Amino acid sequence: MNETFYVTTPIYYVNDNPHIGHAYTTIAADTLARFHRLAGTRVFLLTGTDEHGQKVERAARDQGLTPQGLADQVVGRYHQLWDRLRIEPDDFIRTTEARHRKGVEDLFRRVRENGDIYLDEYEGWYCTPDESFWTDTQVVDGKCPECGRPVERVREESYFFRMSKYQDPLLRHLEENPGFILPESRRNEIIRFVEGGLRDLSISRTTFQWGIPVPEGEGHVLYVWFDALTNYISALGFGGENSGEGYETFWPADVHLIGKDILRFHAVYWPTFLMSAGLPLPRRVFAHGWWTVEGRKMSKSLRNVVDPNRLLDRYGADAVRYFLLREVPFGQDGDFSHEALIDRINSDLANDLGNLLHRTIGMVGQFCGGRLPRAAEVGDLERGLQQAAAATTAVLREELESLEFHRVLKRVWDFIHQVNKYLDTRAPWSLSKSGDEAGVRTTLYTAAEAIRVVSVWLWPFMPDAALKIRFRLGLAEEDPPRSLEEARTWEVLEAGREVQPGPPLFPRIDEEEAEEIKQAVGRELENGQGAPFSEDAGSAETPRQKGPSSRADEAAAPIDYEAFSKVSLRAARVVSAKPVEKSRNLLSLRLDLGDEERTVVAGIAGSYSPEELTGKSVVIVANLEPRTLMGVESQGMVLAAQEGEQLALVTLDKSVPPGTPVR
Ligand code: MSP
């Protein structure tokens, strides 16, 4: 293993608020960084924001802000989110910083001095959301071949980079370094792309201003990807006065973590810029998959963009970090759903891990007066656990090297199951009954040690939970593991220390709560609160509505009349209403629709009592597929406006017969 480890995330565009896609890479990078720190490596974790370019300039204009003003606003949200997610970068680079500009200018000069820059005219297509150039033959029906959004015709004077010159050197590099691009399927894609021929790349723009001026290139700003990619070295001080002690120490990066959509920029453009400048290439670029949401692409027009802050409010940093890295292999696409997340919380975190800790601490209380006992005799079962811990630690290292987060976690959970089984087999409660005090002490100390080992492995993934576990086991508050070796060492916990009983580490989310979350999420999405002012998250753009519109208006994509006419809205009279059993927020309404009566379940108990509802005229969606909520079938949905927690039912201002259609 290298004695230094430099890991980067993409730098995020500031035209938009952070969403789970951004959180995903950054959590992975932080986990990797923490792990390498534990392994004794000198680590540098870099993240930051990509603040130049046409896309940011336009977003700012649409919001009546200067690009710098927008960047200053959004960057704070990233800082805040990383804090909440317990992400601890060593540096955060903004491309509008002077130190970055110096790095970019220096890289550009080197490339130019190498004879790889020339002035010409660019004519072709530009995809602003992706900030990428396309030729006539690449564009598909006026749309970007990568993201499917409309492209614009561009014709302007431009500096070009002789990328074509690096086709063969890059191919050679790809062939000689099989680990350079991962996963392998992505590497093959890139090889095919490069074999298909590299064209020279336009690297400056003249039709807008928001970028780093081309050195001695009046009227030109650098192409935003040339600017952005350089962050990986400018943050280390490259191009700065004392030309970067950090650069000398940490470059080349050990791994650039990125999403699969930006692989070409990292696997083709970036290495060829570096080759031209005579600088070493990063050791590895790993492209992870994309998250869909409940089976659909995340996009503003679908109003399903997942805001990590809302996940944090509901589930906390540990569960979010755990879920994202456990649910899906890092290189593959995955699907996000609250159900899947709740399942993981209940089964893996509450049941397996939480319960193991809880029962162990409970028994130390019950049988040992709340103080960690000293192990008496260590037998085969105990030795078996110690060996499993050592073996797991060894494999874990390898699997993290190849970024198999989900495998690592699965392995940790195999061990947790083993410890739970150990407790069941040894059954301290029976040992105690039969007077085998030595057996009780050995078992409980061994279980406590095994959990401590788990806390070492989990520290990179769930730092808060790891600290809490350690505190409960009698270690000091805020006492993180210092080295991975602690997972191989046994008898670290001091006998005689007091353990700390407490509430469950991960409370179970029961059915009712899960249902409430589902309803609240549904309402948020209806109100377009998934990710405020999100322009898009990788799908078709929606025109921004002007004027004092609500968020719901901003989020809504236009639909045609035909689509609207499919919704059957009808007036209904509330015959009776009662709370749904075991639910805090659901009411079951019996509704008169003139020709029939039906039951509709509504999450409105926080705003209305059953009594005040009886006799009211409401409006319902009458042709919604029936759904069972907390055991009651709901045959429609009552319309209501929502402001925070408060709901206001849609009613009619004149009396109409029940069942009257609403249009
Ligand atoms: N600014 C560029 C990166 C420059 S790096 C020198 C950029 N920024 S971005 O904000 O649009 O996207 C950043 C990352 O978010 C990309 O790696 C992208 O893959 C990732 N994701 C965006 N949507 C995603 C999902 N739905 N799922 C997972 N990751 C996704 O591109």
Quick: pLDDT tens for 196-220: 999 999 999 998 899 999 999 999 9
Instruction: Kindly provide the residue ranges of all beta strands, DSSP E only, lying in 580-616, ordered along the sequence.
Output: 587-592, 597-602
State percent of the chain over pLDDT 70: 92
In this structure, the strands spanning 617-621 and 637-638 are: antiparallel
In this structure, the strands spanning 181-182 and 285-288 are: parallel
Least reliable range by pLDDT among 238-242, 526-530, 588-592? 526-530
Contact between residue 360 and residue 444 where contact means Cβ atoms under 8 Å apart:
yes
Distance 9 CA to ligand 1 centre (A): 9
pLDDT digits (tens, 9 = 90+) for 321-333: 999 999 999 999 9
Confidence (pLDDT) at 516: 85
pTM of the model: 0.81
Residue whose Cα lies nearest atom 23 of ligand 1: it is 21
- pLDDT higher than 50, residue 101: yes
Residue whose Cα lies nearest atom 6 of ligand 1: it is 229
pLDDT classification of 545: cutoffs 50, 70, 90: very low
Ligand 1 near 25 CB (within 6 A): yes
CB 368: neighbour CB atoms within 10 A? 21
- pLDDT higher than 90, residue 558: no
pLDDT classification of 528: cutoffs 50, 70, 90: low
Ligand 1 near 10 CB (within 6 A): yes
Query: How far is Cα 326 from Cα 334, in angstroms, rounded to an integer?
Result: 11
Ligand 1 near 24 CB (within 6 A): yes
- pLDDT higher than 90, residue 69: yes
Ligand 1 near 290 CB (within 6 A): yes
Confidence (pLDDT) at 590: 92
DSSP track, 77-138: HHHHHHHHTT---SEEEETTSHHHHHHHHHHHHHHHHTT-EEEEEEEEEEETTTTEEE-TTT
Confidence (pLDDT) at 540: 27
Confidence (pLDDT) at 547: 28
Distance 538 CA to ligand 1 centre (A): 9
Tell me the average pLDDT across 577-599: 86
Least reliable range by pLDDT among 141-145, 296-300, 354-358? 296-300
Residue whose Cα lies nearest atom 15 of ligand 1: it is 22
With the most atoms of ligand 1 within 8 angstroms of its CB, the residue from 7, 258, 265 to mutate is: 258
- pLDDT higher than 60, residue 553: no
Q: Which residues pair with 637 in a beta bridge?
A: 621
Contact between residue 164 and residue 199 where contact means Cβ atoms under 8 Å apart:
yes
Cβ neighbours for 360, distance < 8 A, ≥ 6 positions apart = 423, 444, 447, 448, 451
Q: What angle do CA 597, 603, 605 make, to 5 degrees?
A: 95
- pLDDT higher than 60, residue 529: no
pLDDT classification of 242: cutoffs 50, 70, 90: low
Integer CA distances (angstroms), 3 to 40, 42, 479, 654, in order: 8, 6, 24, 77
Could you identify the atom of ligand 1 that is nearest to the CA of residue 292? Answer: 26
Cβ neighbours for 254, distance < 8 A, ≥ 6 positions apart = 2, 4, 5, 6, 7, 282, 283, 284
Ligand 1 near 261 CB (within 6 A): yes
DSSP track, 165-197: GGHHHHHHHHHH-TTSEESHHHHHHHHHHHHT-
pLDDT classification of 589: cutoffs 50, 70, 90: very high
Distance 308 CA to ligand 1 centre (A): 15
Least reliable range by pLDDT among 298-302, 453-457, 524-528? 524-528
Distance 286 CA to ligand 1 centre (A): 13
Least reliable range by pLDDT among 139-153, 319-333, 348-362, 366-380? 139-153
Query: How far is Cα 259 from Cα 290, in angstroms, rounded to an integer?
Result: 7
Least reliable range by pLDDT among 109-113, 484-488, 556-560, 574-578? 556-560
State percent of the chain over pLDDT 90: 73
With the most atoms of ligand 1 within 8 angstroms of its CB, the residue from 290, 333, 535 to mutate is: 290
In which region does residue 632 sit, left (phi positive, over 0), alpha (psi from -120 to 50) or beta (all else)? beta
Contact between residue 145 and residue 162 where contact means Cβ atoms under 8 Å apart:
no
Ligand 1 near 259 CB (within 6 A): yes
Distance 287 CA to ligand 1 centre (A): 11
Amino acid at 244: G
Instruction: Kindly provide the residue ranges of all beta strands, DSSP E only, lying in 240-370, ordered along the sequence.
Output: 255-259, 285-288, 291-293, 296-297, 334-336
Confidence (pLDDT) at 643: 66
Helix or strand run (H / E) with residue 61: helix 54-62
Least reliable range by pLDDT among 73-87, 158-172, 256-270, 584-598? 584-598
Least reliable range by pLDDT among 85-89, 232-236, 549-553? 549-553
pLDDT digits (tens, 9 = 90+) for 606-638: 888 898 898 899 999 998 877 777 778 888 889
Contact between residue 581 and residue 629 where contact means Cβ atoms under 8 Å apart:
no
Distance 335 CA to ligand 1 centre (A): 16
**How confident is the prediction for the chain on average, in pLDDT?**
90
Ligand 1 near 13 CB (within 6 A): yes
DSSP track, 470-528: HHHTTPPTT-----GGGGT----SPTTPBP---S-SS----HHHHHHHHHHHHHHHHTT
